[in-house]
């Protein structure tokens, strides 16, 4: 039998975490005599995920999906798989009870969005998950099996939880602007980490950040990228005017887009490229457009470009003086946190040498220096 492995999560595409789960699954499948010929990584986009599942069903007997089963609006694996397989979702009472017990045992308050994880496709086999709130799910139809599994947390979270075994960390990943908006709308979060100071500043001005916990955690670089093998001949930021199709993050909400606008305005070409630019809601969309060559050039973070080194190339870095401030990633405890002490420990942990070693592996440097 053949197996295809699909890892789901924008954080994987962004390089925030390494896709170690795919390697683990591939090794286990090989040990069972199952043949794995394809592995895929898809961001948190329902349409693209559905396309990937449909393609996988044409060439594999078993589809293993990891990730995207969390409680947020961007966790769409279950919904996408159910639509592809023609199944409706319903409330699975045993899963609902398991979620209730999970939070009760840890003296944590359940939020309404957590009940989303108890919704399962009709006719599916539900596999209990003693280590979390998202159960595994198996959908069988016409000789095909689609298996949904929770994605593993990032490397830093297990490191932190090993040091503080009584503290559980659950990550929510999205563009900084979207996360800011969610926090302002009442998202029950304890720590906010932003890809730019602007979003953190906005929350701090509204009194939603514990200022004394704020720290410039990481530093990144802004780069101009082109599809691998591009013959357009771009070698500087100013050369972006040679591209007919340009992908940028939306400056209204995406920090990378704000940096791109600032640099191109400095060069006096922002207005010139407006008619040729498409604006993504996050950096992943920009990265994917350039990787697929649907855009001839784009501007992203250097760490994002490194995560797709085989599909995009860095043509240039933002020129010196084009940005008014360093590309810093601040982190802070949120004032509405119900777990202030634990959140503070997590922020402090992110500044430790061992945590910085993990960040450095993805191309970040210490923002506090």
pLDDT (mean) for 193-207: 93
Bridge pairing between strands 215-220 and 365-366: antiparallel
Bridge pairing between strands 35-42 and 62-66: unpaired
Q: Which helix (H) or strand (E) holds 57?
A: helix 46-57
Give the separation between CA 235 and CA 225, rounded to whole angstroms. 10
Q: How far is CA 353 from CA 66, 231, 359, in A?
A: 30, 41, 10
Confidence of residue 336 (pLDDT cuts 50, 70, 90): confident
Nearest to 52 by CA among 16, 25, 70, 77: 77
pLDDT score of 70 more than 90: no
Are the C-beta atoms of 263 and 222 separated by less than 8 Å? yes
8-20 burial code (b ≥16 CB/10 A, e <16): bbbbbbbbbbbbe
pLDDT score of 276 more than 50: yes
Least confident of 88-92, 101-105, 123-127, 264-268: 101-105
Counting Cβ atoms within 10 Å, is residue 364 exposed (0-12), middle (13-18) or buried (19+)? Answer: buried
- Residue % of the chain over a pLDDT of 90: 55
For 103-155, what is each residue's pLDDT tens digit?
777 666 677 878 898 999 999 999 887 666 788 899 999 899 999 987 644 55
- Which one has a higher pLDDT value, 201 or 66? 201
Nearest to 207 by CA among 120, 94, 335, 87: 335
Confidence of residue 87 (pLDDT cuts 50, 70, 90): very high
pLDDT (mean) for 56-85: 90
- Which one has a higher pLDDT value, 294 or 154? 294
- Which one has a higher pLDDT value, 145 or 255? 145
Give the separation between CA 104 and CA 358, rounded to whole angstroms. 33
- Strand segments (E) across the chain: 2-8, 35-42, 62-66, 89-91, 119-121, 125-127, 136-141, 144-149, 191-193, 215-220, 222-227, 246-249, 277-280, 297-301, 312-317, 327-333, 365-366
Least confident of 12-21, 200-209, 261-270, 285-294: 12-21
Q: How far is CA 136 from CA 30, 128, 151, 226, in A?
A: 21, 6, 10, 39
Counting Cβ atoms within 10 Å, is residue 333 exposed (0-12), middle (13-18) or buried (19+)? Answer: buried
Q: What is the DSSP string of 302-365?
A: HHHHHHTTTTEEEEEEPPTTSSSS-EEEEEEEBTT-S-HHHHHHHHHHHTSHHHHHHHHTTT-E
Q: Mean of the per-residue pLDDT values for the chain? A: 88
pLDDT score of 244 more than 90: yes
């Amino acid at each position: 039998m053949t197996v295809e492995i699909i890892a789901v999560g924008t954080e994987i595409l962004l390089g925030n975490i390494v896709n170690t789960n795919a390697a683990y699954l591939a090794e286990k499948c090989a040990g069972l005599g199952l043949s794995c010929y394809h592995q895929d990584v898809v961001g948190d986009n329902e349409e693209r995920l559905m396309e990937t599942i449909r393609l996988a069903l044409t060439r594999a007997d078993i589809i293993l999906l990891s990730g995207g089963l969390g409680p947020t609006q961007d966790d769409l694996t279950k919904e996408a798989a159910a639509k592809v397989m023609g199944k409706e979702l319903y409330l699975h009472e045993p899963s609902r009870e398991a979620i209730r017990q999970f939070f009760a045992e840890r003296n944590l308050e359940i939020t309404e969005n957590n009940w989303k994880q108890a919704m399962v496709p009709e006719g599916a086999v539900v596999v209990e998950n003693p280590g979390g709130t998202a159960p595994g799910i198996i959908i069988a139809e016409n000789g095909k099996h689609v298996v949904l599994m929770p994605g593993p947390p990032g490397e830093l979270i297990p490191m932190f939880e090993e040091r503080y075994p009584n503290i559980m960390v659950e990550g929510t990943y999205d563009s900084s602007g979207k996360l800011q908006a969610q926090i302002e709308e009442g998202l029950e979060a304890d720590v906010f980490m932003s890809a730019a100071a602007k979003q953190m500043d906005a929350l701090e001005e509204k009194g939603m950040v514990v200022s004394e916990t704020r720290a410039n955690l990481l530093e990144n670089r802004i780069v101009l990228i082109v599809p691998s093998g591009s013959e357009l001949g771009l070698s500087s930021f100013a050369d972006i005017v040679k591209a007919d199709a340009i992908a940028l993050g939306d400056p209204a909400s995406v920090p990378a887009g704000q940096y791109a606008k600032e640099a191109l305005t400095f060069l006096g070409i922002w207005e010139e490229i407006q008619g040729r630019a498409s604006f993504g809601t996050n950096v992943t969309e920009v990265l994917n457009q350039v990787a697929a060559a649907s855009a001839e050039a784009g501007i992203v973070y250097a760490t994002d470009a490194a995560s797709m080194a085989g599909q995009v190339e860095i043509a240039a870095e933002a020129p010196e003086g084009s940005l008014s401030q360093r590309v810093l990633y601040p982190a802070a405890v949120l004032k509405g946190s119900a777990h202030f002490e634990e959140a503070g420990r997590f922020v402090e942990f992110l500044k430790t040498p061992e945590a910085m070693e993990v960040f450095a592996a993805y191309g970040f440097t210490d923002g506090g220096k």
